[in-house]
Amino acid sequence: MGYTREAAARSCFLLAIPAVLASGIFELKDAPEEGDIAWGPTWLATVIAFAVGYAVIAWFMRFIETKSFMPFVYYRIALGVVIIAFVTFGVLSPHAAESAG
């Protein structure tokens, strides 16, 4: 579609925001009553997760401006071959392989 790698990655991250927020809200509805949750540690963990996620995304955006995706492509191909071999030889069941990739 003519997007640069940076633009494609940026749009993917922006599209993920509503999905992540919706999943958090969906899981929050299953939480016990407010008195049973330690809200302090929950908010602290949320802030830390946000900060780490933001830092990783910032690093990744700088990374894709200068580096190739080919090491990742080779890794995924090798992982796929290993999983297919493990399933073929019975080391993994097909259901375990579904969650491995």
Q: Would you list the DSSP string of 44-75?
A: HHHHHHHHHHHHHHHHHHHHHHHS-SHHHHHH
Tell me the C-alpha distance between 17 and 23, whole Å.
Answer: 10
Q: Are residues 9 and 47 in the same domain?
A: yes
Q: Are residues 50 and 63 in the same domain?
A: yes
Domain of residue 97 covers: 69-101
Per-residue b or e along 47-58, where b marks 16 or more CB atoms closer than 10 Å to that residue's CB: eeeeeeeeeeee
Q: Are residues 3 and 19 in the same domain?
A: yes
Q: Are residues 34 and 45 in the same domain?
A: yes
Better pLDDT: 29 or 85:
85
Better pLDDT: 82 or 66:
82
Please say if the pLDDT value at position 65 is more than 60.
Answer: yes
The count of domains in the chain is: 2
Q: What is the pLDDT of residues 11-57, one digit of tens each?
A: 888 888 899 888 888 877 777 665 677 778 888 998 999 999 999 98
HSE toward the beta carbon, residue 3, CA cutoff 13 A = 9
Please say if the pLDDT value at position 101 is more than 60.
Answer: no
Q: What pLDDT score does 7 carry?
A: 86
Q: Are residues 77 and 59 in the same domain?
A: no
pTM metric for this prediction = 0.59
Helix (H) or strand (E) holding 41, with range, is helix 39-66
